[in-house]
Amino acid sequence: MSSATLEIKLSRPSRIYCPSEPLDGKIVVKSASSISHRGVRLAVNGSVNMQVRGGSAGLIESIVGAVKPIVIVNRIIEVRPSGRIASGTTEIPFSVTLKQSGNDNHDRFYETFHGADINIQYLLTADVTRGYLHKSLYTTMEFILETDKAELLDQPASPEMVIFYITQDTQRHPLLPELKSGGFRVTGKLSIQCALSDPISGELIVETSAVPIHSIDIHILRIESVLFGDRIVTETSLVQTTQIADGDVSRHLMLPIYVILPRLLTCPTTLAGPFSIEFKVAIVISFQSELSKMQAKSDPRTPRLWMAMETLPLELVRTR
């Protein structure tokens, strides 16, 4: 077991940076005795990693993960030449800028995103190379990248709202007979263009419902598309569920919608050549039914006899 440890400490506890900003920090080496080395290096790597899954794409399992990653940045800098590091704690400062001058039109830096099929990640790796008889030291840290402020959109005066209504006639899937005959009507409005730093906001009113309501939920969905050969493979997955009503709500009572977006699981809506990341928001109303109790853990994306839903496109943007 090595008596020396290695750690990366960035100047910002949040680890959030923009491509044109310097990544300042220090490499901290702790050792009980002095150690010789062949150089201290720092690698900066950023990539878009994509996969297609056989089950949803209709492809054989052997080609899962066969999509070539997109390299965004791959740079290695030497922060200290070969020599000796004294015993105790040694701090080695570093500073590196991702977007180099004169290369603005060549490199495109996508924001950090962790999805089901698409992963955009930026990593710092520190490496203290030693001789053959000694184990080299290395450590890795992820940092979060956001769009440069100069490229951001101005904050809109108010988010773009859309009016929606949900009735038995707007549903494209079969409903329980009592829902079809008795009817229901839910109306409201919701923001469909939203800044990532702001919540999804709106309101909802249950005007009529012959069957008591069990719950009302807001689902955020991500739609990840990957270019695989000559076809586009698309996967829809659930990001987050927020319940805005539990039980049968009073009729004609305005219910506020306020949904905070998760940081690493969302990013600006991205339409790139080899891949795209888009989002939708679904309003799902579950009605009280004995049948629903038998399938309490059913997939919320799949319409059921006791459910009504409305799905709207959601554009996410980064603003000043």
289 band by pLDDT with thresholds 50, 70 and 90: confident
Query: Which pTM was predicted?
Result: 0.86
Domains 4-148 and 160-317 fall in the same CATH topology: yes
Q: Where are the domains of the chain?
A: 4-148, 160-317
Task: Dump pLDDT digits (tens) for 219-246.
Answer: 999 999 998 888 888 999 999 999 999 9
- Mean pLDDT check: name the lowest of 54-58, 70-74, 178-182, 271-275: 54-58
Question: Average pLDDT in the 122-141 region?
Answer: 89
Average per-residue pLDDT in the chain? 88
pLDDT at position 136, please?
A: 86
Asked if pLDDT for residue 159 goes beyond 80, the answer is no
CATH number of 160-317: 2.60.40.640
| DSSP labels, the chain | --SEEEEEEES-TT-EE-TTSEEEEEEEEEESS-EEES-EEEEEEEEEEE---HHHHT--GGGTT-SPPEEEEEEEEEEE-SEEE-SEEEEEEEEEESS-TT-TTT---PPPEE-SSEEEEEEEEEEE---TTS--EEEEEEEEE---GGGPBPPPSS-EEEEEEEETTS--S---HHHHHH-EEEEEEEEEEEETTS-EEEEEEEEEESS-EEEEEEEEEEEEEEEETTEEEEEEEEEEEEEEEES-PPTTPEEEEEEPPPSTT--S-EE-SSEEEEEEEEEEEEE--HHHHHTTT--TTS--TTEEEEEEEEEEE-B-
Reply yes or no on whether the pLDDT at 64 is more than 60: no
For the domain made up of 4-148, the CATH class stated in words is mainly beta
